[in-house]
């Protein structure tokens, strides 16, 4: 049986609501993303530049941010069961995010999934301002021109088939590497426009059932 690396985005994929948007709406400038997103999608600004612009307005302590996320983000159904199934079958499940470790780790701990490996950036929150700390993602990607998730994915693959689960702009390059892509929201729209195949999903129950059925067919 072939083994899998299941690479999963966090914001809007694991969570029902994007934690980055939640934080900016509560502690920064409301509605700011609506003015930034068209510039991001057109290529006028990179994802990192868009995030810097958003979080420059945020004023909140780590405790305030975490309390908001635990209260409002929500977890997409079926994640714990998918992780348990993955481990039982000898697969690896890793969270790859363009968000912040402090927030992600607090949420996963809260949901009983704190032992998952997380690959992400970081943010230093305070009442005086917010500093984004970018992880080392190597050289600029030849596909998107950014230092994107492809670097992290390549560094962790061990010859497995790559399953990618995502929902947004930061997931496009990772999805391009994958053998199987589960997509929703903006990622699904982008892949549809590009003529790239994917499996649509709205929760992790669907993901697990599809992977189980796929393995049964291959057995």
- Please indicate, yes or no, whether the overall pTM of this predicted structure exceeds 0.85: yes
Cβ contacts of 211 within 8 Å, gap of 6 or more = 4, 85, 163
CA angle, residues 50, 27, 19, in degrees to nearest 5: 60
Domain range enclosing 205: 4-218
Find out whether 126 and 149 touch, Cβ atoms under 8 Å.
no
CATH number, domain of 58, equals: 3.40.50.1000
Number of structural domains in the chain: 1
The token pair at 91 is: 């697969």
pLDDT tens string for the chain (219 positions)?
689 999 999 999 999 999 999 999 999 999 888 888 888 878 888 888 889 999 999 999 999 999 999 999 999 999 999 999 999 999 999 999 999 999 999 999 999 999 999 999 999 999 999 999 988 777 777 776 677 788 889 889 999 999 999 998 888 888 889 999 999 999 999 999 999 999 999 999 999 999 999 988 876
Report residue 186: phi and psi, to 5°.
Answer: -65, -35
């Amino acid at each position: 049986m072939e083994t899998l690396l299941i690479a999963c985005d966090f914001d809007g994929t694991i969570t029902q609501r994007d934690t980055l948007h939640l934080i900016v709406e509560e502690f920064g400038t409301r509605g700011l993303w609506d003015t930034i997103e068209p510039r991001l999608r057109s290529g006028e600004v990179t994802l990192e530049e868009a995030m810097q612009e958003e979080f420059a307005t945020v004023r909140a302590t780590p405790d305030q941010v975490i309390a908001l996320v635990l209260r409002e983000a929500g977890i997409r159904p079926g994640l714990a069961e998918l992780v348990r199934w993955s481990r039982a079958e000898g697969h690896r499940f890793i969270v790859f995010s363009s968000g912040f470790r402090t927030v992600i780790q607090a949420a996963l701990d809260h949901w009983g999934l704190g032992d998952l490996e997380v690959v992400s950036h970081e943010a230093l929150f305070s009442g005086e301002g917010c500093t984004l700390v970018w992880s080392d993602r190597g050289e600029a990607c030849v596909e998107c021109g950014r230092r994107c998730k492809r670097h992290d994915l390549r560094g962790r693959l061990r010859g497995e088939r790559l399953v990618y689960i995502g929902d947004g702009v930061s997931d496009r390059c990772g999805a391009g590497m994958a053998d199987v892509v589960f997509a929703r929201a903006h990622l699904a729209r982008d892949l549809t426009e590009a003529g790239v195949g994917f499996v649509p999903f709205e929760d992790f129950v669907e993901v697990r059932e599809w992977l189980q059925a796929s393995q049964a067919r291959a057995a």
